[in-house]
């Protein structure tokens, strides 16, 4: 169970994981050593499972965000395993989630433009095993981007 200090650490580190321990400690009202100890405990408990930089996709020229609903020919364990293994081979597929509803999976993909997405569709998506249908949606604009999980406490 998280106490208020741990919850505050997680919220602050989701905003900026590069924050100095001394600054983080000051923000939450702990000594630097106590804050450092808590961060290490949160890491060892698996609540913090890594650090990364948020890269601006548009600055990389990846202007198109695409969501693809995938329906498989079969929902057998073998078919799903084969699809999931194949998805892991393509860096163009940023995220893949197994869903309920009309689609079996939803993929998130970014591309430079429609022509680039066409290339991804032909050379990546069309090669995924067991796919019976794809429904593509293009994002017009992002209203709210994910910046971290809600932390209780």
pLDDT at residue 54 in the model: 87
Distance CA 135, CA 82 (A): 20
Question: 């393509």: which residue's tokens?
Answer: 90
CA distances from 49 to 41, 66, 108, 152 (A): 11, 27, 22, 18
Report, as ranges of residue numbers, the positions in the chain whose pLDDT lies below 70: none
Rg (C-alpha) for the chain, rounded Å, is 20
Q: What pLDDT score does 145 carry?
A: 87
Q: Are strands 64-72 and 105-111 parallel, antiparallel or unpaired?
A: antiparallel
Question: What is this structure's pTM?
Answer: 0.85
Which pLDDT belongs to residue 115? Answer: 97
Q: Which domains does the chain have, with CATH numbers?
A: 4-44 (1.10.10.10), 64-138 (3.30.70.920)
Residue pLDDT, tens place only, 65-76: 999 999 999 999
Residue 21 confidence (pLDDT): 96
Strands of the 105-111 sheet, one edge to the other: 93-98, 105-111, 64-72, 131-138
């Amino acid at each position: 169970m998280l106490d208020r200090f741990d919850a505050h650490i997680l919220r602050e580190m989701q905003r900026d994981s590069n924050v100095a321990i001394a600054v983080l400690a000051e923000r939450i009202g702990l000594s630097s050593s106590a804050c450092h100890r808590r961060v290490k405990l949160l890491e060892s408990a698996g609540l913090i499972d890594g650090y990364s930089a948020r890269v601006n996709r548009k600055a990389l020229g990846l202007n198109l965000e695409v969501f693809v609903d995938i329906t498989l020919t079969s929902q057998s364990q073998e078919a799903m395993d084969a699809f999931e293994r194949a998805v892991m081979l393509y860096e163009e597929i940023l995220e893949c989630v197994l869903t309920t509803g009309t689609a079996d999976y939803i993929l998130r993909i970014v591309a430079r433009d429609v022509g680039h997405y066409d290339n991804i569709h032909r050379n990546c998506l069309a090669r995924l095993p067991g796919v019976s249908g794809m429904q593509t949606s293009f994002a017009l604009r992002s209203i709210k981007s994910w910046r971290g999980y809600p932390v209780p406490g």
